Amino acid sequence: METAWSDEELAFQGEVRAFLDEALTPELRAVGQNMTSVYADPKVSLAWQRILHARGWVAPAWPVEYGGCGWSAARRAIFATELSAAGAPTLSPMGLGMCGPVLIGHGTAAQKARFLPRMLSGEDFWCQGYSEPGSGSDLASLRMSARADGDDLICNGHKIWTTHANAANWIFCLVRTSDEAIRQRGITFILIDMTTRGVEVKPIISLSGEHIQNEVFFTDVRVPRANVVGAVGEGWTVAKYLMQFERGGGSSAPGFKTRLARIRAMTAGLEGFSARLADAAIAIDALEAVELRVMASLSAGEAPGAESSMLKTVGTELSQHLTELALEAAGAYGAAFQPHVVHAGGATPGFIPPNDGEAVGPPAAWTAAPKYFNDRAGSIYAGTNEIQRNIMAKAILGL
């Protein structure tokens, strides 16, 4: 197996580094280095997305004909590594990483022409309407309804844990268009304009203090039937396709390496950390090898398949382990609540920063506690890790 970059790939690496040196402002770097959520604040995320879009690098995995880069697995890995090393903030995945691939794979020509360019530019900012108060990991039990009325569907229901619904102007939803003996049938995948009358968003404040999650209520919301992706009643097939991209197909390992380096710097000279950090480094390298293999499959036009469940499980549990190591390394400094010096995924309602704006402890310790609390959800969102193990047992082991 060839593990060294080719001359062409090394030249591309140099091109990426030169671009990041010029395009990443100190403010953007500060956000990327001090993020406490998997999501950057929408204002920052969109500012960085516009810069990448102007360079033509906003969608590395998308085919060229839809405005993407069409890069090989190697180029995508190099790009992800350099972004992390440079301290770039993350982009919101709901449009570019989830709904976009679904429209490319299942959307009509009209839907692709309408939505994909605005998704790339950031003119449309998306959120995901899957979970409901009684339907989380058991998503097939969802009850949000959509009844036909001429050329429209009338939607009524309640979605929850909807990331950045307070900032989004579009949401992709799973709704029930009929009741069937098999619950996975009768579900439809639909795109809804968040400015439509009858859509109401209410905030949920996280353990880490910030406003990222929301409840979304739909009361007689009229949606054109043209916004249905795939066939009416067959949204479960579309949703499964999307969840493969939500759970796997990206690059977590480069970010984990950056986080591990910060922990290593914090623990220099402390006893008992070396072996544990070495174990974490080995786990990250193993994850990276699988991510590269999945990237190669995606580059060849394949979907991630059941490996996406493995990547989601290993990735979120490894991320949680890193937050535990960081919190332990931060020691007493981890107890300080100081959202004014970190960059959360949203505002922190009710927090009044100190007049001098100063922080307690070394910079590497600032993010330890809020990142720890935010990451508790990692093994729950996108389908709990228990569900992912069931998927792997069935699809891979045949159990």
pLDDT of residue 28: 94
Query: Of these residues, 82, 246, 288, 307, which one is catalytic?
Result: 246
pLDDT by residue (tens digit) across 2-59? 557 889 999 999 999 999 999 999 999 999 889 988 889 999 999 999 999 999 999 9
Give the start-to-end residue ranges of the domains of the chain: 9-93+100-106, 125-234, 244-395
Q: How confident is the model at residue 1 (pLDDT cuts 50, 70, 90)?
A: very low
Assigned token pair, 372: 């720890």
How many alpha carbons lie under 13 Å from residue 267 in its C-beta half-sphere? 20
Q: How far apart are CA 92 and CA 220, in angstroms?
A: 29
- Kindly report the CATH number that applies to the domain delimited by 125-234: 2.40.110.10
**324 an active-site residue?**
no
How many CB atoms are closer than 10 A to CB 113? 11
pLDDT by residue (tens digit) across 160-180? 999 999 999 999 999 999 999
Q: How far apart are CA 187 and CA 230, in angstroms?
A: 11
Assigned token pair, 76: 């995508």
Same topology, domains 125-234 and 244-395? Answer is: no
How many CB atoms are closer than 10 A to CB 199? 17
pTM surpassing 0.75? yes
pLDDT of residue 116: 98
Q: How far apart are CA 113 and CA 129, in angstroms?
A: 22
pLDDT by residue (tens digit) across 69-90? 988 878 988 998 899 989 999 9
Cβ(325)–Cβ(276) below 8 Å: yes
Architecture of domain 244-395: Up-down Bundle (1.20)
Q: Report the alpha-carbon angle 243-109-184, nearest 5.
A: 35
